[in-house]
Amino acid sequence: MKIPTALQGLHDLSTAPEQQVPLTSRRQAFTDLTSLVGKLATIGLPLGAALAAPAGLRAQSGSVSVTDVLNFALTLEYLEAEFYEMGLSASGLLTGDVRTTIAQISKHETAHVAFLQAAISGAGGTPVTSPTFDFTAGGAFADVFSNPQTFLAVAQAFEDTGVRAYKGQAGNLLGAGDVLTAALQIHSVEARHASEVRRIRGSKGWITGSVNTSAPAASAVYAGEDNVTHLGVNATTVTTVTMDELTQAYDEPLTMSAVLDIAGLFIV
Amino acid sequence: MNYSFFKVKNDREVVRSRRVFLRKSGLGLAAAGLLIAGCADDDMTGLNGDDAVDLGSGDFGVLNYAYALEQLEAAFYAQVLQGSYYASANAEERQIMEDLEAHERAHREFFAAAIATVGTPIPALEVDFSSIDFGSRSSVLSTAQAFEDLGVSAYNGAGRLLQNADYLLVAGKIVSVEARHAAAIRSINAPSDPTAFASDMIIDANGLDLARTPAEVLSIASAFIATPINASNLPG
């Protein structure tokens, strides 16, 4: 049985003692697709049809309903909303201007949760319930709620992942009118968040190549961001800007499965 | 002498009033008294005349619309890099201006090439930046903020007009970078406001960014574009 096996793998990963889970293992876990099915079972998303397609085709498979996309988005918003609420509640973690910035982001993520729940219900669907989260990712980010630098590094990873997640689902909302517009309106807010968190941390607001400026374990968040081919045009052949600038100028999508693989590290 | 004097004075008045308006409204440059381009109303086609640049119809027209906006942004930052604000800016702000100039130039160059694979892209547009003081930090940053927020709202509003998922994806790849720009510009433009990057003046109570129709966007952008644009054939 695939699901119990995957669940067991995820369980082993999330319960392993911290000292036995070096960063390299965590990094591997970020790209370990075998845990996907377990996470989906945990999240309860009705994505059987999508999963049947090869990884690279899922976003374009056309077999994912609008409600499925919105529930996928809702799961990510649950993750972000709870993360920021916990951060703001953690004594002494966030102070001064950074606290004000995070409170603004938190307000948006909480609003996104309510908005998506209403949108899903309005479309005749049933909003998924929130997963149970472990923002230490099984101990990889043990001080996430006591060390502001760790908190902000994880925040950056969540925001940059969120941008890629919405982008990857746009095609599944083609022709969906108001729903597509709303998804795009959330997408650009996530990008604003990402830019601000990155800049607070001393990075540029935009992503250079596939360079991971978050925690070392977050390399999967940036995988493929160095793509330079768009609409079949190799942009390096038509531009006068440098390679770094060119890759900064485009954000890249992630498939639903790749996003859930990342988010799954924080789902118990 | 007198003529020159009055002309200069008049220009300053225009610059000052537009600057005040940008500062107060963020985005809402009044269309009244300015060249109105891209009105979706069919009645406007005649006003735009035969010399107006027609964006075209369908997805092709939407791509040309994006290309027009990228031309505007690229031209703006190119001029910023020639101005005295940039020359005297601190290292962080210089780097941001250099990056944004490169990104918008890359977008402009890409659209020209991508559109050329399916048709003839619109020509180079003539811009009008007479209202911008490129020696003034506040003028440059306020205009940059208005352009970036405008670009975000334009792509957000145009997505639903597209029929082709590949085009929608490209728009998505670009709009989030525009949003990253907008956040950075807003942040350095209001250093005392830690919420400026996604201010309540831009993001609504549902946590949604702005979305504008092409007619709304072009009525704002037309203050900075001398070439008449006919957007009446865009999907609506």
Does B119 lie at the interface with A, CB-CB under 8 angstroms?
no
Q: Does A218 fall in a domain?
A: no
Name the residue facing B172 among A105, A170, A182 (closest C-beta): A170
pLDDT for residue B50: 62
* A13-27 pLDDT per residue, tens: 222 333 333 333 433
Name the residue facing A196 among B112, B156, B197 (closest C-beta): B197
Distance CA B224, CA B35 (A): 9
Q: Does A86 fall in a domain?
A: yes
Lowest mean pLDDT among A219-223, B35-39, B77-81, B226-230: B35-39
Q: Does A210 fall in a domain?
A: no
The answer to whether the CB atoms of B180 and A112 lie below 8 A apart is no
Average the pLDDT over B15-43 and give the result.
Answer: 37
Query: Confidence band (pLDDT; 50, 70, 90) for B49?
Result: low
Structural domain harbouring A56: 2-204+253-266
Does B191 lie at the interface with A, CB-CB under 8 angstroms?
no
> Chain B: residue nearest A182 by CA?
B208
Check which CATH number belongs to the domain holding A151 and give it. Answer: 1.20.1260.10
Q: Does A61 fall in a domain?
A: yes
B8 pLDDT above the threshold of 60: no
Does A253 lie at the interface with B, CB-CB under 8 angstroms?
yes
Residue B32: CB atoms within 10 A of its CB come to: 7
* A79-117 pLDDT per residue, tens: 999 999 999 999 999 999 999 999 999 999 999 999 999
Does B197 lie at the interface with A, CB-CB under 8 angstroms?
yes
For residue A107, which residues of chain B lie inside 8 Å, CB to CB?
207
Does A191 lie at the interface with B, CB-CB under 8 angstroms?
yes
- Nearest CA to CA, how far is B33 from chain A (Å)? 31
Q: For B224, which DSSP code?
A: G
Distance CA A83, CA A94 (A): 13
Name the residue facing B211 among A184, A205, A230 (closest C-beta): A184
Q: Does A46 fall in a domain?
A: yes
* B170-213 pLDDT per residue, tens: 999 999 999 999 999 999 999 999 999 999 999 999 999 999 99
* B223-233 pLDDT per residue, tens: 999 999 999 99
Answer yes or no: CATH 3.40.30.10 is held by domain B33-230. Answer: no
The answer to whether the CB atoms of A188 and B195 lie below 8 A apart is no
Percentage above 90 pLDDT, chain B? 78
**DSSP, residue by residue, B85-134:** HHHHS-HHHHHHHHHHHHHHHHHHHHHHHHHHTTS----PPPB--TT--T
Q: Does A21 fall in a domain?
A: yes
> Chain B: residue nearest A178 by CA?
B160
> Chain B: residue nearest A77 by CA?
B207
Q: Does A223 fall in a domain?
A: no
Does A95 lie at the interface with B, CB-CB under 8 angstroms?
no
Domain count, chain A: 1
For residue A246, which residues of chain B lie inside 8 Å, CB to CB?
106
Name the residue facing B197 among A114, A195, A235 (closest C-beta): A195
Inter-residue contact B77 to B97 (CB < 8 Å) = yes
Phi-psi region of A130 (alpha: psi -120 to 50; beta: other; left: phi over 0): beta
**DSSP, residue by residue, B150-205:** HHHHHHHHHGGG---HHHHHHHHHHHHHHHHHHHHHHHHH-TT-TTGGG-TTTS-T
pLDDT for residue A235: 97
For residue B168, which residues of chain A lie inside 8 Å, CB to CB?
170-171, 174
**Mean pLDDT of all residues in chain A?**
83
Distance CA A13, CA A29 (A): 8
For A229, phi then psi, to 5°, come to -105, 120
pLDDT for residue B41: 41
Q: What is the ipTM of this complex?
A: 0.83
B46 pLDDT above the threshold of 50: no
The answer to whether the CB atoms of A184 and B172 lie below 8 A apart is yes
Name the residue ranges covered by the structural domains of chain B.
Answer: 33-230
The answer to whether the CB atoms of A171 and B208 lie below 8 A apart is no
